[in-house]
Amino acid sequence: MKSAKTTATDVLPAEGGLGNDALLEVDDLHVEFVTRAGLVKAVNGVSYSLRPGESLAVLGESGSGKSVTAQAIMGILDMPPARIPQGSIKFRGTDLLKLSEDARAQIRGQRIAMIFQDALSALNPVFSVGWQISEMFRVHRGMSKRDAMKKAVELMERVRIPAARQRVNDYPHQFSGGMRQRIMIAMSIALDPEVLIADEPTTALDVTVQAQIMELLAELQRESNMGLILITHDLGVVADVADKIAVMYAGRIVENAPVRDIYKNPGHPYTKGLLESIPRVDQKGQELYAIKGLPPNLLDMPSGCAFHPRCPYRQDNCVTDVPPLNEINLDRNSACHYWREVLDGSHG
Amino acid sequence: MGRYVIRRLIQAIPVLLGATLLIFAVVFALPGDPIAALAGEKRGNPVVVALLREQYHLNDPLIVQYGYYISGVFQGNLGRTYANVEVSQIIAAKFQVTVNLAITALVLEAIFGVGLGLWAALRRGKATDSMILASTLILVSVPTLVTGFVLQLLLGVQLRRWTGGVEIFPIAGVSDGWISYVVPGFVLAGTSIAYLTRLTRTSLVENLRADYVRTAVAKGMPRRRVVGRHALRNALIPLITFLGADLGTLMGGAVITESIFNIPGIGQELFRSVHERQQPVVVGIVTILVLVYILANLVVDLLYAVLDPRIRYE
């Protein structure tokens, strides 16, 4: 344990060493799974970056590779069956994929933390919430049980769990869904991580609670200046919190842009479809828009642009040529051959 | 909690009544006259025979005899044998031996079953895993009679040749203290070890896939802690249940093992009593076994609440 710690500090980048530069840089990441049915290419060349204090929303439907990318950053993919044939994940300039397992374990939870979707199953049912939060301090900081418990109460107060002192010895099943997710959050921010990855943190919650949790995340982020990666399939959730959005489809980023631009004027037919499928009050009574067709089968990906079978802008070259990530402007890209037409709003 | 225990004990009464009535009926359905058996080859004096039949209520219908018996049981009296010895005295002398045997078996079961199961689970899909699974299959399929005699031959006869006559594991009787229970205990626990190994493996493999294990990894916990604390603590719950319930099975299953290894416990006594038609002893021993079973299950259910905070007894 001791020796692992020293090697880790030798290899790991210093905190805040690179000023305002990228905190996390994912570059051309590929992740595939070896299954009995064949090779599943879950992530095919994803790149994104995150600066301190910045919020990135990664948007996409199930199977788009957004969670797998996050798990690759955390280093919690089961390898095998997963493998990473290509790409790099740089955290403060150091490629995490080149680090030893010991060194990565030193980053996990302490400098890059993660929140999961369903807090009931993500929390251990047989340990009290206080035990689970304080474990961070006991294992990573070598604190005594009593001091670690005090810290756990402080954290529970910080995420605004009522009567934290009385409830610290309760078990996860004794809390409501929203409170459980707060405990999950308390646990993840325990050691002041520089990056927080929230994988669909509100999907299992009802709408009013969703808003509270998002607000809490935004507030914690402002206080600590950490980078936040918010993974979601819900466009409504991200508008208030995210600075920029990366839209994923079939393991690729199809569009990335500052959050305002994307809502105002999407640059990819898929983003456009997602935005149009949000139910709106002023269109009450009209048929709800749905992107036609089904998400692609990762075992048998469409040729050319993976979205072409579902795309209203499709031309002949979409079936044969994979579109590059075209630069729309300095901080905006779209992986569509016809992004200009999409921006103009004219259906081709 | 206290009310729960009392309720469970009250619920045990009909179980005890039903089980003893059943065994009473079965034992009395056995052919042969116990009083005639007392006289051996000769025919007994008809006056004495009639007197004895009267004394043991043998002329009354079965249900009346059972009434006499069970009212005795509730007064702590298990009755007398036809040779006029207190049944409770006979059982008391043998009970400790069987308890020793069953506990030895249980400890061996826990060590080997959980140990092998964990090993297999951590090496899932590898050669070790397959070998452990295959050996549990063999252990389940070979009857106790065979494992018992094979081990006696190997450890008692063959091993002694190698060690120059020194006996490492005694293979008969209980005169050497705890060590004499090791081989019989292992034979008695054989099938249970196999089942527990498989249960442990399944339980841990399942828990290692659980979301909260992924959380523990994401928290940066060392692998040893992820497996040993987070996964194992959850995986243990069904294992404790299995072990607790198995204590009763082991005590009841001691009949064959005690006969093979000549261990003077209640199993051997039960075997002899059935043979000699000592109905009061047979029923007495079974009553005790039923009680052990009921108590073991109650303890398991209470342990369950200790191990799994989601379970509460009101």
Give the nearest chain B residue to A188 (CA atoms).
Answer: B219
Residue B111 and residue B39 share a domain = no
What's the Cα-to-Cα distance from A330 to each of A327, B24, B43, B146, rounded to whole Å? 7, 92, 115, 80
* B168 belongs to a structural domain: yes
Give residue A292's pLDDT: 78
Give residue A17's pLDDT: 47
Q: Report CB contact under 8 Å: B215, A122.
A: yes
How far is C-alpha B266 from the geometric centre of its chain's CA atoms?
11
What gap in Å lies between CA A278 and CA B265, rounded to an integer?
A: 76
Residue B222 and residue B97 share a domain = yes
CB–CB of B90/B81 below 8 Å?
A: yes
Write out the two tokens for B11.
């619920």
Give the nearest chain B residue to A5 (CA atoms).
Answer: B222
Residue B292 and residue B186 share a domain = yes
Q: Report CB contact under 8 Å: A139, B225.
A: yes
For A105, which of B220, B237, B307 is closest by C-beta distance?
B220
Q: In degrees rounded to 5, what are phi and psi of residue A89? A: -125, 100
What gap in Å lies between CA B267 and CA B253, rounded to an integer?
A: 8
Residues of B in contact with A136 (CB under 8 A): 219
The pLDDT tens digits for B60-96 are 788 888 888 888 877 877 777 777 777 888 888 888 8
Cα torsion at A226, A232, A235, A241 (round to 10°)? -10
Residue B254 and residue B114 share a domain = yes
For B218, which of A114, A124, A125 is closest by C-beta distance?
A114
* B264 belongs to a structural domain: yes
Residues of A in contact with B228 (CB under 8 A): none
Residue B200 and residue B69 share a domain = no
Give residue B314's pLDDT: 63
Q: Report CB contact under 8 Å: A171, B309.
A: yes
What gap in Å lies between CA B250 and CA B267, rounded to an integer?
A: 10
The pLDDT tens digits for B272-304 are 888 877 778 888 888 888 888 888 888 888 888
Residue B95 and residue B65 share a domain = no
What gap in Å lies between CA A97 and CA A87, rounded to an integer?
A: 9
The pLDDT tens digits for B164-194 are 767 777 777 777 777 778 888 888 888 889 9
The pLDDT tens digits for B152-165 are 888 877 777 777 76
* B204 belongs to a structural domain: yes
For chain A, list the strands marked E by DSSP.
24-35, 38-50, 55-59, 82-91, 94-95, 112-115, 195-199, 227-232, 244-249, 252-258, 326-329, 332-334
Spell out which chain A residues touch chain B, with contact meaning CB-CB distance below 8 angstroms: 1, 74, 76, 105-110, 113-114, 116, 118, 121-128, 135-136, 139-140, 171, 173, 184, 187
Burial B136-170 (b: 16+ CB within 10 A, else e): beebbeeebeebbeebbeebbeebeeeeeeeeebb
What's the Cα-to-Cα distance from A307 to each of A31, A266, A312, B262, rounded to whole Å? 19, 15, 10, 78
* B80 belongs to a structural domain: no
- Chain B residues 269-308 with a CB less than 8 Å from chain A: 307-308
Give residue B23's pLDDT: 84
> What is the 8-class DSSP label of residue A31?
E
Q: Report CB contact under 8 Å: B210, A121.
A: yes
User: At how many degrees (to 10) do helices B62-74 and B2-29 cross?
Assistant: 140
A195 vs chain B: nearest CA distance in angstroms? 13
Tell me which of A75-79, B25-29, B254-258 is least confident: B25-29
Best of B124, B212, B239, B312 to disrupt the A interface by mutation (most A CBs within 10 Å)?
Answer: B212
Domain with B123 in it: 90-307
* B200 belongs to a structural domain: yes
CB–CB of A105/A4 below 8 Å?
A: yes
Residue B103 and residue B6 share a domain = no
* B173 belongs to a structural domain: yes
The pLDDT tens digits for B193-246 are 999 999 999 999 999 888 999 999 999 898 889 998 999 989 988 898 888 888
Residue B61 and residue B104 share a domain = no
Residue B200: which CATH number? 1.10.3720.10
What gap in Å lies between CA A140 and CA A187, rounded to an integer?
A: 13
Return the SS3 of B298: helix
* Residue in A68, A150, A247 with CA at minimum distance from that of residue A158: A150
Task: Sort strands A244-249 and A252-258 into parallel, antiparallel or unpaired.
Answer: antiparallel
* B58 belongs to a structural domain: yes
For B219, which of A128, A136, A173 is closest by C-beta distance?
A136
| Number of domains chain B contains | 2
Residues of B in contact with A118 (CB under 8 A): 211
The pLDDT tens digits for B30-47 are 766 777 666 666 677 778
Residue B297 and residue B154 share a domain = yes
Residue B251 and residue B156 share a domain = yes
Q: What is the largest CA-CA distance in chain B?
A: 86
Q: Looking at the complex, does the CB of residue B310 fall below 8 Å from at least one CB of chain A?
A: yes
Residues of A in contact with B210 (CB under 8 A): 121
Predicted ipTM of the assembly = 0.83
Task: Sort strands A227-232 and A94-95 into parallel, antiparallel or unpaired.
Answer: unpaired
How would DSSP label each residue in A93-134? TEEGGGS-HHHHHHHBTTTEEEE-S-HHHHS-TTS-HHHHHH
pLDDT tens, per residue, chain A with 348 residues? 444 444 444 455 555 444 447 888 888 888 988 888 888 888 888 888 888 888 999 988 888 888 889 999 998 888 788 888 888 888 888 888 888 888 888 889 889 999 988 888 899 999 999 999 999 999 998 889 999 999 899 989 888 888 888 999 999 999 988 889 889 999 999 888 999 999 888 887 787 888 888 888 888 888 888 999 999 887 777 777 888 899 998 888 888 888 888 888 888 888 888 887 777 777 667 777 777 777 888 788 888 888 888 888 878 887 788 888 888 888 888 888 877 777 776 544
Size (chain B), residues: 314
pLDDT at B112 over 90: yes
Residue B159 and residue B20 share a domain = no
What gap in Å lies between CA A36 and CA A39, rounded to an integer?
A: 8
What gap in Å lies between CA A252 and CA A34, rounded to an integer?
A: 19
Residues of A in contact with B226 (CB under 8 A): none
Residue B314: partners with Cβ closer than 8 Å, 6 or more residues away? B3, B4
Give residue A123's pLDDT: 93
* B81 belongs to a structural domain: no
User: At how many degrees (to 10) do helices B266-275 and B279-307 cross?
Assistant: 150
CB–CB of A115/A107 below 8 Å?
A: no
Residue B182 and residue B118 share a domain = yes
**Which tops the pLDDT comparison, B2 or A57?**
A57
For B220, which of A109, A118, A173 is closest by C-beta distance?
A109
* Residue in B267, B260, B304 with CA at minimum distance from that of residue B282: B267
Q: In degrees rounded to 5, what are phi and psi of residue B220? A: 85, 20
What gap in Å lies between CA B231 and CA B69, rounded to an integer?
A: 50
